[in-house]
């Protein structure tokens, strides 16, 4: 089981946890389409600069 560190209390918790069980810190979620769009725009800009 993979672990991640809570930025609020520094405890190691399950990587899939959305809320820290120790301090109730809520991990932010980001839709996958935003990440995909950002990568796509970055690739387009790099190709534009190369060509």
Residues 11 and 37: their CA atoms lie apart, in Å, by 32
Q: What is the pLDDT of residue 12?
A: 95
pTM of the predicted model, to two decimals?
A: 0.55
Q: What is the pLDDT of residue 23?
A: 95
- Average pLDDT for consecutive 10-residue bins of the chain (51 residues)? 92 94 91 93 96 87
Q: What is the pLDDT of residue 17?
A: 93
Q: What is the pLDDT of residue 29?
A: 86
Q: What is the pLDDT of residue 30?
A: 82
């Amino acid at each position: 089981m993979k672990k991640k560190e809570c930025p609020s209390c520094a405890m190691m918790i399950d990587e899939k946890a959305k809320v820290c069980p120790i301090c109730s810190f809520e991990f932010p979620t980001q839709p996958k389409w935003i990440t995909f769009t950002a990568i796509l725009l970055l690739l387009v800009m790099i190709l534009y600069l190369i060509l």
